[in-house]
Amino acid sequence: MVQKIPIQRLRRERRENEGQQRTTRACDTCRQRKMKCDGNRPMCAQCQAQGLATCAYSEVKAVKVQRQLESANLKIKAYEELLKDISHRIGGFLAKRIASVLNDPSAKQSEHRNNAFDASSSSSIGSLDDIGTVSEDLNRSEESRATGYMGKNSEVTWMQRLEFGTTRQREDSLETPPQYLLRGDDSIASMNYRLDHDRLSDPEVRNAFVLPPKALADQLFQIYFDKVHHSMPIIRQNLFMEQYNRLFSGSPINPGRKWLAIFNMVLTISSRFCRHSKQGARGYSDENMFFARAKSLSISENVLYDHEDLQQVQAEALMGFYFLAVSQINRSWKMIGIAARSGIALGLNLRRTSNKFDSESSESRKRLWWSIFHLEHLLSVMTGRVSCLGDGSCSAPPPLPTGILEYGVPGVSQFGNEPLAQGCGIQWTICQRHEQIEAQQACLKSVASSPSLYFFYLVDLSLIMHAITNRVYSTDVFQDGWAQIKSRIGVYSEKMDQWLSGLHASLAFEDIHGNTFPRSNSCYQVSLALHYYSARIVLNRPCLTRPQIDSKSGIRFPHSQFHNNTALACLRASLALINILPDQTETGWVYNTTSWWSFLHFLMQATIIMLIHMSVGSVPTRAEKGANVETGEGAVGISESPEIVLAATKKALHWLHCLGGSDEAARRAFHICNNYLHRIAPSKGLDLSGIPSNIGLSQTFGTADYPPGETSSSTPQQQNQSNSAPQHAQSTAFRGFDYNERDDMLFQEPEETQASLDSIQSSSAVLDTDIDMSETISYPTNANLDDILFLLGSNI
């Protein structure tokens, strides 16, 4: 049988006169009319013949579906990011529902572990367990009441939990010298190194209107504006100094009681600086008398009976700051709370839409409010207490990062020459998206460096830290679940990275690789660095805990990689903070270069974190070498090695010992840390050579933190001068807008003088009180009043 052979079909050559080949895609009109389309573009022959204006070709179905799928994927991704961002802000049950909808594996794993963020109190030192509880009766004694409640983000609580955990773990060794053993209880009050339980001296004020010598006042005012004002612009410097100069000019003037209260509080704060730094004016022995005068003029019963005004807010804020400077943290917390509520009552926390205020007055009010906010936040961190300023309580715009109030001439502003005046709106880092932050950073880096720029960065960081304490250390932490806390730590860590990357070149203290610059003597750089590393410590502190231990088997479970990385970040922030300090201890460096009123707080935060690290043990690290991943516990020579941590701890103790020579709070802090380190040293094998001894510090400074042998803030000569001053002349001379009628009980005035004073009071009463305090200076022309002021001048 013959096999068939396949014969290929012959290809026909295409001829020109044959019809065109069928088009691959007809236009929409021809497809709808079911007409033959030639596929010409932009218009086919059929549409052209019918005179249509357009000829559209739809996409192939597969291409169209693919495009829709890509668009849907982008939208889904955007929705997921939005839901995650919302879950970080709301927390609670809704956050858990969002996590389950998003099918987040980390959230499921955390929920499967029953939200076990080291929840066992037997395995945690100072973590977030029991954050919504109080473990002791704080009303049991005067000391416990003076200390009050200390929350989880306070370094005092960290130390108390560290002592409690060490005692329970039986890490105290029989080899520990008896002088370092823990005596008494391990309550919060026993670990409080501050001076809350010390009574303040309250000298009798016979005449609150006495003024100090001008030379002394000049020096104290210069100290205040050099060492405090840039970080706390509570008063308006240029106008206040103009009024101050007029007060001593010999011209007849009429300052009110509240103006004089602010005046005395400035002198009080500067005197405290001189007392501790051993520099500047030698009249710091008048510190308590200045304070007593300010209290009697404005802060005592006025808080209860008088309605708030801007001068009262300033006086309250300055007093709260002074309590902070003298380590009376509980009193400071209460006074700043009063100042914050007074400011809220005046609407300082809100955006101002009225055009009745000039730019300088409006800017002064903003700076006053954000100074109060910064102090409230700082004290909330120190005490671990919830802030009275909740989320969304402030809509006041940021202070301008330019020197609008730093040119020394009232009414003259050079702000118009700044790049920010060209429409670059300034917002807080915590409120902006990534692309907005980048645009603002580029704008800020073109601004000239100034104290105003430093203050803006300081408050910007405080807002991030405020969000951290409200969201990470909230009482509903376990309701939210560990997955939410972990997510929030990541979000705020990114915000802090953005803040750090946006610093002006003159204020930057780290390079792009995270390496700190050589030690700087710039007070602005050092202050921002201390606040930044302190915020890093508080943010990452919840993960620096002992490994979880099974209560039945005693097996220790290792932490997650995120847990270890976060704990390591906390330790490295502490080491970086200590690295800022010079190797040679010097008290003058602290008071000339740092925020001296909060330096001890920062130093204790870093020191206690290093003590916790040495008690807990080294944090496991991971290092990639080629294709292999090696784990360890900190190799010798790298930043987290035990040797480096111990050396940094010794350095911190040297600084505490140095400051303890003139500061009772630092002395107590040194004793607490030094005693604990000596107790765990035998069991940990620590070499404590080179650490100064407790014997080198005096045991007491006396009540109200006086140097030994000093009991009064005024010399006998000054007291006699105050007692002999004619009270009727003083009181009458300073009777003005905020004169109190009960002053009439002290003296009887001639009728003609009383009439002239009534006319002055009448003309002053119509003035609106403002932060400028311009209404407190008047120019009476009555001859009788001039005579009284002349008598006053003879007693100054």
Would you say 714 and 723 are in contact if contact means Cβ atoms under 8 Å apart?
Answer: no
Q: Quick check: 340 pLDDT over 90?
A: yes
Q: Quick check: 556 pLDDT over 50?
A: yes
Burial class (CB within 10 angstroms; exposed 0-12, middle 13-18, buried 19+) of 410: middle
Alpha-carbon distance values, 223 to 168, 216, 270, 448, 663 (Å): 49, 11, 6, 24, 19
Highest average pLDDT, of 320-329, 393-402, 763-772, comes from 320-329
Looking at per-residue confidence, does 77 or 629 come out higher?
77
- Residue 58 is predicted with a pLDDT of 83
Partners of 628 in the β-ladder? 625
Looking at per-residue confidence, does 548 or 677 come out higher?
677
SS3 content of the chain, % helix, strand, coil (to 5): 55, 0, 40
- Residue 581 is predicted with a pLDDT of 94
Would you say 708 and 716 are in contact if contact means Cβ atoms under 8 Å apart?
Answer: no
Alpha-carbon distance values, 783 to 254, 396, 752, 790 (Å): 14, 46, 10, 11
Render pLDDT for 241-254 as a digit per residue (tens, 0 to 9).
888 988 888 776 77
DSSP 8-state secondary structure symbol assigned to residue 327: T
The predicted model gives 85-104 an average pLDDT of: 71
Render pLDDT for 214-265 as a digit per residue (tens, 0 to 9).
999 999 999 999 999 999 999 998 889 888 988 888 776 778 889 999 999 9
CB atoms under 10 Å from CB of 42, counted, come to: 11
Enumerate domains of the chain plus CATH numbers.
20-58 (4.10.240.10), 64-113 (no CATH), 206-397+709-796 (no CATH)
Query: Radius of gyration of the chain from Cα atoms?
Result: 35
- At which residue do the structure tokens 């080949």 appear? 21
- Residue 738 is predicted with a pLDDT of 33
The predicted model gives 346-367 an average pLDDT of: 86
- Residue 177 is predicted with a pLDDT of 62
Helix ranges (H only) for 543-663 are: 561-580, 587-593, 599-616, 642-659
Looking at per-residue confidence, does 29 or 638 come out higher?
29
Which residues of 493-533 form beta strands (DSSP E)? none
The pLDDT-based confidence of 327 (bands split at 50, 70, 90) is very high
Q: What is the mean pLDDT of the chain?
A: 75
Q: Quick check: 665 pLDDT over 90?
A: yes
The pLDDT-based confidence of 639 (bands split at 50, 70, 90) is low
Closest alpha carbon to 254 in 759, 794, 636: 759
Q: What is the C-alpha to C-alpha distance for residues 470 and 488, in angstroms, rounded to an integer? A: 11
The predicted model gives 169-197 an average pLDDT of: 69
Among 91-95, 381-385, 692-696, 774-778, which stretch is predicted with the lowest mean pLDDT?
774-778
Residues near 478 by beta carbon (within 8 Å), at least 6 away in sequence:
115, 117, 119, 128, 131
Looking at per-residue confidence, does 700 or 401 come out higher?
401
Helix ranges (H only) for 179-306 are: 188-191, 214-227, 237-247, 257-277, 287-294, 302-305
The predicted model gives 270-292 an average pLDDT of: 81
The pLDDT-based confidence of 444 (bands split at 50, 70, 90) is confident
Closest alpha carbon to 212 in 273, 271, 257: 271
Q: Quick check: 520 pLDDT over 50?
A: yes
- Residue 314 is predicted with a pLDDT of 95
Looking at per-residue confidence, does 38 or 618 come out higher?
38
Q: State what percent of residues in the chain have pLDDT above 70.
A: 68
Phi, psi of 637 (to 5 degrees): 105, -15
**In angstroms, how far is CA 694 from the centroid of its own chain?**
33
- Residue 119 is predicted with a pLDDT of 38
Render pLDDT for 589-609 as a digit per residue (tens, 0 to 9).
999 999 999 999 999 999 999
DSSP 8-state secondary structure symbol assigned to residue 558: P
Partners of 624 in the β-ladder? 629
Q: Quick check: 399 pLDDT over 50?
A: yes
- Residue 208 is predicted with a pLDDT of 87
- Residue 235 is predicted with a pLDDT of 94
Q: Which contiguous run of DSSP H or E holds residue 622?
A: strand 621-625
- Residue 102: HSE in the Cβ half-sphere, 13 Å Cα cutoff: 23
Kindly report the length of the chain. 796
Q: What is the C-alpha to C-alpha distance for residues 221 and 271, in angstroms, rounded to an integer? A: 10
Residues near 624 by beta carbon (within 8 Å), at least 6 away in sequence:
630
Render pLDDT for 448-490 as a digit per residue (tens, 0 to 9).
888 999 999 999 999 999 999 988 887 776 666 667 788 888 8
Render pLDDT for 570-591 as a digit per residue (tens, 0 to 9).
999 999 999 999 999 999 999 9
Mapped onto helix, strand or coil, the DSSP state of residue 516 is strand
Render pLDDT for 682-713 as a digit per residue (tens, 0 to 9).
888 888 888 888 766 655 444 344 333 333 33
DSSP 8-state secondary structure symbol assigned to residue 791: H
Q: Quick check: 768 pLDDT over 60?
A: no
